[in-house]
Amino acid sequence: MTSFTLEASYHLNLATIDRQHQQILDRMAAIDQVITGAESAEDMNSVVNVLEIYCKRHFFDEERLMERRSFPTTLEHKIQHDLFVQHLDQLKSSDTSPRSSEKVILLRDWFLNHILSEDMRYAEFFLKKG
């Protein structure tokens, strides 16, 4: 079974953001369960829609936080968020085959990589700035 747990090394030490990151992973796990349970395409779209709505809210929260703290690469960060949402749209048009499961794993990996490479930057910036 694929892991959708936010390990401690991914924590930004920003409680709300860390909770949101785990919630996103939980929603990805729900998608993976729909796929492995051979649910219908309608069920698939429903769980992907829930993830998409939650991600958009989370990304909005992150972007406002970066803007309020004058993080220098907020725009570039937002572009990455937009690309992720586009990938979610592609997942909605997928079937519930094992290939779709691979797409969820790729989304998870992208998301975790994004936390380590991009989100850590703004967390460190905030800590330095105080």
**Rg of the chain (C-alpha set):** 15
Per-position pLDDT tens, the chain of length 130: 578 999 999 999 999 999 999 999 999 999 888 887 766 667 778 888 999 999 999 999 999 999 999 999 999 999 999 999 998 888 776 655 555 678 888 999 999 999 999 999 999 999 888 6
Contact 75, 59 (CB under 8 A): no
The pLDDT of residue 40: 65
The reply to whether 2 falls in a domain is no
How many whole angstroms separate alpha carbon 64 and alpha carbon 90? 26
pTM: predicted TM-score of the whole model, two decimal places: 0.89
Per the structure, the complete domain to which residue 49 belongs is given by: 12-129
Name 35's Cβ contacts closer than 8 Å, sequence gap at least 6: 44, 96, 97, 98, 100, 101, 104
Structure tokens at 48: 């992907």
Give me the number of domains the chain comprises: 1
CATH number of domain containing 118: 1.20.120.50
Instruction: Tell whether 64 is covered by a domain.
Output: yes
